Structure 1
Amino acid sequence: MERVLRERKYSITGLFKHIGAGNKIHVPLDCYTANSISTECTRQNRYAGCDPMNNKFATTKKEKTGYITIIQRY
């Protein structure tokens, strides 16, 4: 399931709690910075104890223009 945020509803750490396994969320770059989302993604993967080649969370900016996409794999 894909979700698109239009405004700043959640904190940066709160975004990762609202995704769900196998889903993705599109976050607007005018409300959140790409660097802060990427840093929190790395932090969440470390908390989950993921293997570096099999991360739980991933980010991409190529899927939707003006948004950064957070993907939860499992």
Structure 2
Amino acid sequence: AQAAKTANDKASAVRALNEEMKRTGASGKEVQQIAEAMVHKSSVNDMTAYEVALLAKNLEAELAKRAGA
């Protein structure tokens, strides 16, 4: 049951990330670079649900930082 919950949480986090990417207009490459900087992983397949959720939550701020840099 725990494995199913974890998979469900991750699927939900990935959906949130995809929605955030659409909303902010972030490219896959930008998200990959931000992911590498934030959690030192470049693929959501390698991330935990928490890491994906963290990426989704901070995507807009990280994009803004990069745009302002």
Asked whether the two chains share a fold, i.e. TM above 0.5, the reply is no
Shorter-chain TM-score tier: 0.3 to 0.5
Higher RCO (Cα < 8 Å, 6 or more apart): 2
TM-score, structure 1 as length reference: 0.39
Larger radius of gyration: 2
TM-score, structure 2 as length reference: 0.41
- Which is richer in helix? 2
